[in-house]
Structures are given as structure tokens and as C-alpha cells.
Chains A and B, each alone.
Chain A
Amino acid sequence: MALLEVENLRTYFYTRAGIVRAVDNVSFTLEQGETMGIVGESGSGKSVTCYSLLGLIPRPPGRIVSGSALFGGVDLLSCPKEQLRRIQGKRISMIFQDPMTSLNPYMRVSDQLVEPLLVHDRMSRSQALTKAIASLEEVGIQDAANRINLYPHQFSGGMRQRVMIAMALISRPEILIADEPTTALDVTVQAQILELIRQRQKDLGTAVIFITHDLGVVASFCNRVNVMYAGRIVESAPTDEIFNRPMHPYNASLQQSIPALHKKGQALFTIPGFPPDLTVEFHGCPFASRCAHAGDICKEQDPALKQIVPGHKTSCIRFQCGEIADVRSKNFVSAV
């Protein structure tokens, strides 16, 4: 049985400008110990998906309209608040994008680190502190016994993200949700943090949901990838298949947009147009208006994820009925 089974998750925001369908019918499963990537551009609903699982959607205006998320027999989306709270930070932990604002500036690092142990394991403070110091050492912070007494502003960005990781993993969770954990960091620190997450994951056997918009990170880090667009998963496949056999034009265009594949002096590939306005209800494929392969059917029929080969699903209607085989954009001049 899968560790986490999310089905038909819909999270809407009821704003003055209308209903924003931030997550629209998302389903996926997470196996024990695996690393699953969720890729997509800003506003594609990747973060909201994960916030929904942990009850972190601000309500109002947000509301989980439908769906279930089964985790060890408990539906995270409908279970009582108290039951969810005992899972948060204990069995499912989360690290966030901006380590500068995600730690409490008014509390010592020590007080924040021991909190999951005090809250969930009813450990004594001295015991928890010993464990917290050990956990800081495990994420590569030297002189942890002294530094633990500092405040977050006395740490650098990379160090703060290490503290976040130590805090998230201190209770040995079964799932770690990492919401763009390296986006706010500079490149050299990014690599260190990624390596650290990988290392800790190996040590603890934690499953990781890795949210990012960086395909390079996905390629080196994840076993399986879900590509999200306009609040839906448009393609889901093992990592090498996502890159070598793309089955959705959006995924292919994303990869074609990576500047590294281009020769110097050549115009960069861009996806024309903008993502759809999620407050407007629409029919058909949300990517159709920007897609080089779109036909009439794409605007009429609502797409659904279908498995093409075992483990590889796409929501591209024309690919599903075999009308196109190569989803890459034709206007892309191969530079390789």
C-alpha cells in the first residue's frame, strides 16, 4: 500500500475577484522512502497542494472543496483538527522556501528546535535539547552546543535552512515536504542543501515530496515527477521518462526553455502567452491556447490523466488518442 494516497484534491480560494481554482482535481500517490517531485511555474498550485495536506491553507479565503488524502488509514483532509495536529511535525514535516522568514525571529533556535519533541513526544527539556544539538550537528552546523542558543538573525540563510531541515527531521517523520527549499539561496548553498536533504533522507528512510520549478534539481534529485499546470497534474512519470520521453507538450516546452540547451547568441525558447486566469471556469485543456500541437478537440474535451505505459501518465488528449507522437515544439531549432 502506498504511504500517501491523494485523490481528487480540489482547493479553491474564494476571493473578491472570484473563485480561484488553485488546485483542481489532483491525484497522486507517494511510496515509502521515494522522492517525488512536483514541478510547475509560479501559481500552478504545487505549494497549495502540499499546504492542503497539512491543513496550512488560510481559511478563509481557502477551502478544500473535495478530495481525500489517505495517510496510514487517516484522511488528512477530513480528520479532526487534533488528529491532524498530532501528525503535523511528527509524521509529516515541512520545510519552506524562505529560511529568512520561516524561523521565528523572537525565539532562540534551541526553543524552536526542541518544540516538535516537546509537543509530540512529551520529552523532558534537557533530553530534547541533547537531541536538538545532535540534530544540528547532523545537518552540518559546527559548534552546535553554543550556536543553538543564538537567535535566527545571527545565522546566515544557508544555516537557517539547515536549522529548518534539522527541525523538520528531528522527530523522524515518514514524509518530508520540501517547498522550494533552495529557491531563496545562492547557487553554491543550494547544492549543499540538496545534498544534505538527500543524505538525511538516506539515513532516515523518509519519503520526500519536493516542490520546485527547477527542472535541473528534479533531474538529479527525484525518482518520480508530477508536472503541474494551472492547478492540475498534466504529466506524471519516472524522472528519466519525463526527460527522455515527454508525453505532454507543456512538459516538453518547459524543458526546451532551459537556457543551457541553447547555443550562445541564439534566441531562447519561450512558451508563448500566459497561464490561464484561474478565476475563469474553462473547458478543454488549460494549455491549449499556448500549445503548438493543439487541435479543436483540445478546446472541447476536458482532459484527464491516462496511463500510456506503466508508470507514465499524461493528460494530453491528442497524445492519448495517438494523433501526435512527438510533443516537442516544432518551432524549436535543435541546438544539440
Chain B
Amino acid sequence: MRRRSLLTGAAATAAAASCAAVLSGCGSSAASGVPTLDFLSLAWQEESVKANKALVAQWNSAHPDVRVRYVQGSWDDVHDQLLTSFEGGAAPDIIHDEGNDLTDFGSGGYLADLTHLLPAAARGRIPSATWDMARFDGGLYGVPFLQEPRMLIANRTLLDQAGIGLPDAAKPWTWDEFEDIARELSRPGGSGERYGVAWPMSSPVSVTLNLSLTTGGRILYRKDDGGTEVRLDQADSAFAELVRRQVGTDSSAPASALGMGGGDTLPGFFAGRYAMLPLNLSYRQQIQQQAPAHFDWVTLPLPVGAGAPDGGRAQGVSPQTLSVSKGCGHKAEAAAFIDFMTQTGPLVELARGDWMAPTATEALRDPSLTTDKLGWSTGMSVAAHLVASPALGRRGYPEWSDKVATPALQRFFSGGIGLDSLRKKLVRDGNRVFDRYRT
């Protein structure tokens, strides 16, 4: 965060001097006169990289008048890399990023407004609620194309042994049922110590915000004047309280997992130490690759909050997006490439490569994604209910998240502070942060 703040500050200082450079155009032309567009892709899994490269090759063979060059990027430092490139006027033309970054880059004037650049067919492919994930301040700054809900990955053997029936997407467990089941699956102490669930909370803020929607909360609310208000009422805090109860009171979730990333919990899951893991959909790839030969696992829908809107199925998500740099000299061609990449066939390829869910309605119904194998059909059913994360479009969110919410939630989950202190920190300190970003 410190690094991001410093860089943002430096960027602001340099912004005035660099406007001309930013707008000078970045689509390069090869010696042949054919424009070449750089496509910065953040795909990293082998299958996904192959799918992206194949689609770029397909585009290039069908469009000899506009070439696209595949540039492999990395999620590491992508925000700083892009900010520097934007300021220097040498940004890639087509940018793969995620929804949270669009807020800064869109409002900073670095991305092209796609509202009138995309064909009507492209706009109709994706539900309007999903477009909201990339639309703010009256502009559309990216095309959401991949998203992943949080699922419950479970050790089927342990659940069967305990006589617990498996829920399906049509009738998921409620959070109350889930708490009871996690308690039932737990075996405290001794060499066979087992926890019903492990909560990997290396990113506690995004998990808490996104899953607070399942209990009817959202924590970050839009004010009438466009600003952000932090609230922590009963519906907002219900999910965080549940995690704390499981760790501190029920002992059905280990405190040691709170600092872990999703991948760190897998060895304990395979060893039967944790019976269930709430993980993003794409972790199925890693589980399939690393699970011991006869390990029986199953993908279940995440529990829902009884009485919440949409039956508690709505999770928040920050989708992966495709955007066009404002400095790109060939915006129409870049938008045409994005249109190509988000058509049903290519989108299904990309979703399969990344083990994620596509955003387009037609692609979500594709037979290769609705198969019962490896939890695909459950994932697609849950994905149909995804909505924009409360963090999206909230200016000041990175600062609030890093400086206020992360330490407060970490202390709350581990029992260091109570609900009142958490509320005080998130709301009082948080609103001060967001007030500074009001324009």
C-alpha cells in the first residue's frame, strides 16, 4: 500500500506534464503499415496461456489488416506497471486486469470509455448487472469477461462418514446449517485433530465484503452524492461474526489458517485435517493436480443467509476485465478484438483455461461448462447470481482496505477486539478515509 500510495503521488505530480504523452497514441505500426496492438494478458496457468495465444493467432489470421501481439504480463505489480506505462504514454493497447483496478484507472483518465465502441451484440451478451462491475462515473471502462464465485470444497469421504447429505445449487445450506455441520465434523485435539472448516483469510477485506452480501449486508454503501459510507449493521457483520464464532467459540475452524492463502490450506485438506474449504472456483485446478490418488472431493455451493435478498445466493465479485488504453491510436480495432475474445466460443475456451466462470449468459450454458465433472455445473449455477463487489467503483477503497479494514478484521477474527471496536474502526476511521476521496 505504501508503495502504491507513493507511486500514485508521483503519478499525480507527473500527470500534468505527461498528458500530451499519454494522448500521443500507443498502437504501433509495423514497417508494413499494418497497425499492431499490444494485448497485455495476465493469464498464467498453462491451459489459459495456450488458449489466449491460440485466440490471438486466430484473430491475426482472420484480420490481416490489424495485428495483435500477445504480451504476457503478471499479476505481480500489475497496478504499478500499468500506472507507470500510462504516465509514460507507452501503455499496452488492450489490457487484461481486474475490476478493482478500473476505478483508479478509469477515473484517472487512462482508459477509453467503451460505451460507444462496443457493438450492440457484445453489449447484449453480458447481463446488465455484470456490466455494472465496470461502469462508473458515467463511463464503461472494461468488459467483464471472467469471474469466480467462492465455493465450498469438501472432503466427500468425511461428510459421508458423518452421514451428512450434500447440498446442491438449488438448495444450498444456510449459514446456520453450515455452522452446525462444521461443529459436527470437528474432532478437537490429539493426533487425529480435525476442523470442520478452514478459513484462509490472507485477503480478509475482499472476502468479508463479498460474502457480507450473502447475509443481506454490503458494508460499503453509495451515498446520494456519489461518495462512500461505511456501515456495520447486523446484516453487514453477520458473516464476520460467524467466522469469529467458528474460530473462537466453536473451535470448528483453526486460527492458524486465518493468515493463509487458499493454496496454503490444501495440504491440510488432503490430509483430512480440514473437512471443508471455502475457496474460489479456480482452485479446483490446483486440487485436481495435487490431490492424492484416491482423495474424494466435491464442489458445493457456498451457504446462504436465510432471509437475505436473492435467497442469500448473491456474492460480490471483482471480475477480470478487458479494457482499451485511452492513448491507443486504434481504439475501434482494439474494441473489435475484445468483442472477438468475448464471443461465446472464445469465452468458453478462456473460462476452461482458467477454471473460472464466463460472464456471458450464453457461455454460462455451454455444455462443456455445465458438466457435472469437477464441480463445473455447480460453479456455473452459483456464478449466475454474482453481483458487483461492494468495493468496485469506490474511490479510496485500497487505502481503507490496507490501512483500516485489514488490520481491524485480522484482530477481530483472531479475538483481539470485539464487535464494537471493529465497528468503530471500520466505520469511524473508514468514513474519514473515504471522505478524503470525495470530489
Specify whether A and B are partners.
no
A residues with CB within 8 A of B: none
